[in-house]
Structure 1
Amino acid sequence: MDKLLEFGRKALLYVRVLSGYEERRIRNYRLQLERRLQQAQEKKIALRKIPEQAVLAEVRRMVEQMQAVNKKLEETETAIEEYFKPIHKEAEMIMKMQLDGEEARMKEMRTVMQRQALLEKAEAEKAAIAKSAVNNQQIEDSTSTTACQADKATE
């Protein structure tokens, strides 16, 4: 009986092979195995990409945070500049007033120094004139003394 069953199985296999059923079944099984293999490879690639995608997502998030911080910083700087604008204007006005005052004092000092120099020059000229007058008088006195002595000697 085993032989009969074995013969029946072989006969069914030949019938299936000759009818193409077995070939289609083998082909379907092979395609199914290929699909499973392809899906497994895709899952494997996806699993490898997950850490990379996580890192990229983290980098994107950090870049967005840095951009937000930079924007806040620029807004804060602008607000500070706007807040201190009147103070800067007042400081500029005060500095300008101080510079104008210093310039006026310098001009006044220059005119005072020029007057002082003119006075010293005039005094020096007077002293020179007085000295030359004294010298002239001494010369005249000495000439008149020599003339008197000469007159006395001639007498």
Structure 2
Amino acid sequence: MNTIPSIKQRYDLLFPDEVITPQVVTKIEQQLQLQLPDDFKEIALFFNGGLVGGISIFSYANHHPNLIEETLRLRKDIQFPHSLVFLAEPAGSMIVLDTATTPSVIWCDSIDVYQVHDRSFQVAPDTWDTFSDFFAYLLTQEEQEA
């Protein structure tokens, strides 16, 4: 099982100089008007977006593009569900965090952007039950590249 302390320990070995404040999480929740999962909040205390495991996760703070701006853009452009947070846009795909149901993290093909609300995907997505499972997967990818 991937506990948050073990995930943080692995992350700190790879990226020792990250410093995050709890206000980052509060800002995300306020601006997106949702409740983030506890494991996301805990990981956000040491990970503020960026490149990990070959995936560029949108910044959680003021960098552009950032998680808040990109989620709000999709809400406006394609009626993106309010329970979803747009995490990343790897080539030809998208990664979202579902704050209401499990699996929490969905990595789907870009052709399925309009199906993410009802999960009627044309191409089976990769999924993780929790954000911490997804983040541990990214760390494993990073460790294998190191």
Q: Common fold, TM-score beyond 0.5?
A: no
Larger fraction in strand: 2
Q: Which has the larger radius of gyration?
A: 1
Higher relative contact order (CA 8 A, sep 6+): 2
Q: TM-score, normalised by structure 1?
A: 0.16
